[in-house]
Amino acid sequence: METYYNPQDLGKFGEIGKDAPELAKKFFDYYGSVFAEGELSEREKALIALAVAHTVQCPYCIDAYTRGCLEKGASLGEMTEALHVVTAIRGGASLVHGVQMRKIAEQLSL
Amino acid sequence: MSAAHETHETGFAETLVKHDLKLHRDRTSALQVNVGLLCNLACRHCHLEAGPKRDEVMGRETMDEVVAAARRFRFEVIDVTGGAPELVPDIDYLVRALAPLTSRLMLRCNLGGLDLARRRELLELFRAVRPVLVVSLPATNPSQTDALRGGGAWASTLDTLRELNAIGYGREGTSLELNLVANPAGAFLPPAQGAAEKRYRTDLSRKYGISFTSLYTFANVPLGRYRDFLTRSGNLEQYLATLADGFNPCTVAGLMCRSQLSVDWEGRLYDCDFNLAAGLPHGGEVTYLRGLAELPAPGTPIPVGDHCYACTVGSGFT
C-alpha cells in the first residue's frame, strides 16, 4: 500500500456493505435522504458538507463535496467563505476555552 | 460521497442496445442553422472551437437556401447559432427573411466586441423582428464566467443583458424572450435547472437589476476545445465515466436530435450541432440542404458517438 488514501477508493465506498448489507443499506438510504432538496437546498447542504469535510479533514469528503458544490452551482467564493466559517468555529472553540483557563488561573492565583 | 459507482467504458451505441433503445428520428419540426465559427470569444467549453481567428461563415447563397427550405418546410422552430451569429456579415438579412417563416425564431448571441453603431443596429433589428434571444452566462460571478469565456466576458455580458432589458427583453409584461444558458465552468456536471434558475433570478436581480425569461443548464459536450481541456487537465477519463454513469434512458425519447435538422455554413446537414462538431453527418454521409426534397422520415437512424452521453446524463439535453 503506497498511501492510506487513494482517490480511486472513494468509488469503492459501497463495498462497505459487503459484510453488513442491511446496515449499509440503512446508512446509504439515510445519506441519500439527508442530501435531497428539503428546507435547505441541495446547494446549501453541499456547502455544509464541504465545511464539515474540512472539519473532520476527510480527503474523500473534500474530494466529493468540492465536486458536489461545483455541480450544485456554488461558486469558489461561497466555498471559500464556508471554510472560513469552519476556521472561525474551530479557532473560536479553542479561544473560548480561554474562559476556563482564566477561571482556573484566577482560582490559583493570589 | 454517495454509494459506490462502477466506472463504465461502454460506448453510447452499446448502452442504447443494453437498454433496448434506438435513437431514430421523429417528426422534424426544428431547423438549427449554424452560420459559422467566427466568434469574438474563444470559450474553453466550445465544442466547435469557434473563435476570432475562424473564417467559416455562411454566405448569402447558403442563406438563400436556408430561407427557401424554411419557406418549403415551415419549421416550427428555427434556431440560429454559431460562433457569434452577430458577426456574420449578412446576418440581418437572414434573420429578417426567416422571421416570417416560423413561429419561433431563436438567435444565440453575446453582442460583445461590436462597436456602438453596430450594437444599436442589432438592437433595432431585435426590436423589429423580435427573435427569442439566447445568451450564455455560465455563472453569476465574474471568476467562473471569465474562466470559461475569457477575460472581460462577464462585464461585457452584463452590459448586453442590461441593454436587452432596456428594450424590453426578459422583462415581465413583454413577449420579448431572453433566455440564459449555463454550462459548468469545469470538468463537472451542471446544477439542476430549476434550482439554478431560481438562484440566477435572485442574484442577477438583486446585485445587477437584470431579469431574464428562463435559464437552461447543459452539460458540456466532450468535443473540440472542451475535450482538449479535459485531456490536458487529466479529467477526460473521469468526466466520460461520470457522463456514462449518469445515463438516463428516459431522456432518449425527448432528445433534440430526433426532431431537428442542423445545417452548417456550407449547407451540410446534421442531426445536431454536436454531430456537426464530431463530423457525423445526417444519414451517415454528407448531404446538403439544397438537395433536400423531403424532411427525413421518422425512423431514420441518427449517427451516435460517445459525446451523446452529454445529452442523456441526468435530466438530459432536450
Burial profile A42-51: b = 16 or more Cβ within 10 angstroms, e = fewer: bbbbbbbbbb
A52 in the same domain as A30: no
A86 in the same domain as A32: no
Extract the C-alpha cell encoding B221.
459536450
Angle of the A76-96 helix axis to the A42-56 helix axis, nearest 10: 50
A105 in the same domain as A81: yes
DSSP letter at B220 equals P
Predicted pLDDT at B318: 54
A74 in the same domain as A99: yes
**Considering only alpha carbons, which residue of chain A is nearest residue B142?**
A75
Q: pTM for the complete prediction?
A: 0.87
Task: Say what the alpha-carbon torsion angle B229, B230, B234, B235 is, to the nearest 10 degrees.
Answer: 140
Backbone φ and ψ for B45, nearest 5 degrees, come out as -105, 5
Which helix or strand (DSSP H or E) is residue B270 part of?
strand B269-270
The one-letter amino acid at B179: N
Tell me whether A15 touches chain B (CB under 8 Å).
Answer: yes
Predicted pLDDT at B201: 97
A74 in the same domain as A32: no
Backbone φ and ψ for B284, nearest 5 degrees, come out as 90, -10
Predicted pLDDT at A1: 57
The most confident of the ranges A4-8, A9-13, B30-34, B142-146 is B30-34
ipTM exceeding 0.90?
A: no
**Considering only alpha carbons, which residue of chain B is nearest residue A62?**
B1
Low-confidence ranges of chain B (pLDDT < 50): 2-9
Cα angle B122, B124, B125 (rounded to 5 degrees) comes to: 60
A57 in the same domain as A104: yes
Calpha distance A110→A18 (Å, rounded): 62
Question: Are the beta carbons of B4 and A43 separated by less than 8 Å?
Answer: no
Assess if residue A1 is contained within a domain: no
Q: If DSSP codes are grouped into helix, strand and coil, which group holds residue B127?
A: helix
Predicted pLDDT at A2: 76
**Are the CB atoms for B252 and B302 separated by under 8 Å?**
no
A81 in the same domain as A49: yes
Predicted pLDDT at B4: 36
pLDDT, average across residues A24-53: 96
Which helix or strand (DSSP H or E) is residue B238 part of?
helix B236-245
Write the pLDDT tens digit of every residue in B4-29: 333 344 599 999 999 999 999 999 99
Number of domains observed in the structure of chain A: 2
Write the pLDDT tens digit of every residue in A49-105: 999 999 999 999 999 999 999 999 999 999 999 999 999 999 999 999 999 999 999
Residues of B in contact with A72 (CB under 8 A): 191-192, 195
Partner residue facing B3 (CB), from A14, A43, A65: A14
Identify the structural domains of chain B with CATH numbers, from first to last. 27-223+256-297 (3.20.20.70)
Return the closest-CA partner of residue B193 out of B204, B173, B177, B179: B179
A54 in the same domain as A81: yes
The count of residues in chain B is 318
Question: Are the beta carbons of A43 and B5 separated by less than 8 Å?
Answer: no
Partner residue facing A73 (CB), from B1, B143, B191: B191
Size of interface A-B (CB pairs under 8 A): 60
A70 in the same domain as A16: no
Return the closest-CA partner of residue B302 out of B293, B290, B311: B311
Q: Which A residues 39-98 touch B at CB under 8 Å?
A: 41-43, 60-61, 64-65, 67, 70-73, 75-77
Residues of A in contact with B186 (CB under 8 A): 70
Predicted pLDDT at B197: 96
Partner residue facing A77 (CB), from B141, B191, B196: B141
For residue B250, CA distances in Å to B194, B247, B253, B317 come to 18, 9, 7, 11
Domain that holds residue A19: 10-39
Question: Are the beta carbons of A75 and B141 separated by less than 8 Å?
Answer: yes
* Beta-ladder partners of B136: B181
Look up the CATH number of the domain holding residue A52.
1.20.1290.10
- Residue corresponding to grid cell 463504465: B8
A48 in the same domain as A27: no
Extract the C-alpha cell encoding B49.
472551437
A49 in the same domain as A94: yes
Question: Are the beta carbons of A76 and B144 separated by less than 8 Å?
Answer: yes
For residue B206, CA distances in Å to A79, B197, B270, B314 come to 20, 14, 41, 30
Predicted pLDDT at A7: 84
Predicted pLDDT at B1: 52
